[in-house]
Amino acid sequence: MRTWLYISITGLLLLTGCGGMPVGPEQAIPKPGQSTVSSFGGTVDEPAHTSEQADQLTIWSYYDLDEWTREQITNMLPDVHVSYHIVPTLQAVELYKKALTSDEVPDIFLLEAPMLGSFNDSQAFEDLAAAPYNAETLLERYSDAITMPYRRFDGTGLVALPIDTNPIVTYYRQDVMQDAGFPTDPEELAVYMEKPDQWLDIARTLKQRDQWIASWGSYPLLIYQHTASFFDSQLHYLRNNEQVIQAIQLGRILEAEQLALTRSMFDTKQNPIPSGEMVMFQTGYWFRHTLEELAPEQSGNWRITRLPFNAYGWSGSSGVAIAAESKNKAAAWKVAQWLADNHSRYMSELMLPSNSEAASEPNGYFGGQKLEPLIRTLIRQMPTFTPSPLDEKASIIWWQAWTEEKDNVSLTAEEVAGIMEQRVLEGLAPEIQVLQERQTVKRPAE
């Protein structure tokens, strides 16, 4: 199970208040008794690499693997000394890059899906679609929306394999919504919040009770950030549209009317969830277990539904990659295949048409709500995109432009969106040109 120490990339951005994709515990972690035999029949051939350090394996991750998973890996590799290194989430990309160019390159990296954009145009990781891995068979049961974040940006291979899949969802206090006169049924509330004015009505009403549904004024933009990359496969800019303009307008209202708590739901010292101040928020489906640990006295009051504004996106999905310079690729592949195959097995069961709502187990903490039908529906609605190699830099520029221009009342929301686009395109112009030239060379003629 993920520990409370894990916070998604966007979660940490919420923590800082700047406004800048999974692994639900039972999904990412194979269950006791599951074998390492492929669920597709037979076993997958191990890589035929000569290992210089066949008795050692190093795994780097941005969250802590639980004790049971570590024990299974130890049992899987009885003659291999396995070491683990956990890095802070916000520093993961930088530290991973340094490790990949060091004298002692780690063998396995666990990455949150958005991190992969920083590596999917390089040769830092093994192409798991190529021989001897031939891992495309592990993805046959997945939709493009699930697999695309793990592909190389030019579409020619696999940087990593999914080991967890998490839609971003809305967590809300059903009892609070009822007391305030708002819809309490998950889908009825989601439909109500499709209209921005009605979402704002909830924020305004609950503010009078010192209860909040947004941490920061940037919250609508943070929700949008989960739904799309900055660029498409041809490096065309994607973040100047009606959804972004609407998010800018809403963010300005939140700040002008002081409708945001201005404290993060991830605050470890004065967390607003147990205190009853934060009564609605958006993050990955994986957080449901953390919420139960964080606020056990609120059992039965929480529910889960889809995002406001009819938006869909990922938060906390993660994958496993093998370093190209790994000195023990055979053992690395054994672990990677095990994680990916077990997640594929879980997802196959989740997405089966026969896995109806009637067969789903009620969740006591969430008031008896059956969560699997909702998650199955969300996964089927997810957008399809691959994070670009420029997303990390673009995000810094984009959020800086928002911070600088959001309070400029002489600018319309459309103009602010235009400035944000202009800053990104001007700031990254040389790199965009280089990447476009590479894409032209690599992509086959259509």
Task: Tell me whether residue 158 is in a domain.
Answer: yes
pLDDT of residue 136: 94
> In sequence order, which residues have a C-beta less than 8 Å from that of residue 379 and are 6 or more positions away?
143, 145, 146, 165, 167, 350, 351
Report if residue 350 sits inside a domain: yes
Q: Do the domain assignments include residue 354?
A: yes
Sheet containing 302-305, strands listed edge to edge, beginning at the edge strand earlier in sequence: 280-284, 168-173, 302-305
CA-CA distance, 439 to 1, in Å (whole number)? Answer: 39
Query: Which tens digit of pLDDT belongs to each residue from 27-39?
Result: 332 222 223 333 3
Q: Give residue 260's pLDDT.
A: 97
pLDDT confidence of residue 145: 94
Q: Give the CATH number for residue 370.
A: 3.40.190.10
Q: Is residue 428 part of a domain?
A: no
DSSP assignments along 249-297, one per residue: HHHHHHHHTT-S--S-TT-SSS-TTTTT-B-EEEEETTHHHHHHHH-GG
Question: Is residue 108 in a domain?
Answer: yes
188, part of any domain:
no
Q: State the Cα–Cα distance between residues 336 and 268, nearest whole angstrom.
A: 32
62 belongs to a structural domain: yes
pLDDT score at 265: 84
Q: What is the mean pLDDT of residues 263-280?
A: 91
Q: Tell me the percentage of the chain whose pLDDT exceeds 70.
A: 85
pLDDT at 53: 67
Closest among 303, 29, 363 to 176, alpha carbons compared: 303
**Count of domains observed in the chain:** 1
Crossing angle of helices 67-76/329-351, nearest 10°? 130
- Integer Cα distance of 103 and 83 in angstroms: 16
Identify whether the C-beta of residue 392 lies closer than 8 Å to the C-beta of residue 153. no
In sequence order, which residues have a C-beta less than 8 Å from that of residue 339 and are 6 or more positions away?
A: 28, 30, 161, 163, 320
**Residue pLDDT, tens place only, 215-251:** 999 999 999 999 999 999 999 999 999 999 999 999 9
Whether 137 maps to a domain, the answer reads: yes
Supply the mean pLDDT for the chain.
Answer: 87
The string of pLDDT tens digits covering residues 310-352 is 999 999 999 999 999 999 999 999 999 999 998 998 898 888 7
> What's the rounded Cα separation, in Å, for the pair 334 and 321?
12
Is residue 427 scored above 60 in pLDDT? Answer: yes
| Position 442 pLDDT exceeds 90 | no
Of the two residues 427 and 30, the one the predictor is more confident about is 427
Residue 335 sits in which domain range? 9-166+316-380
CA angle 46, 50, 55 (to 5 degrees): 85
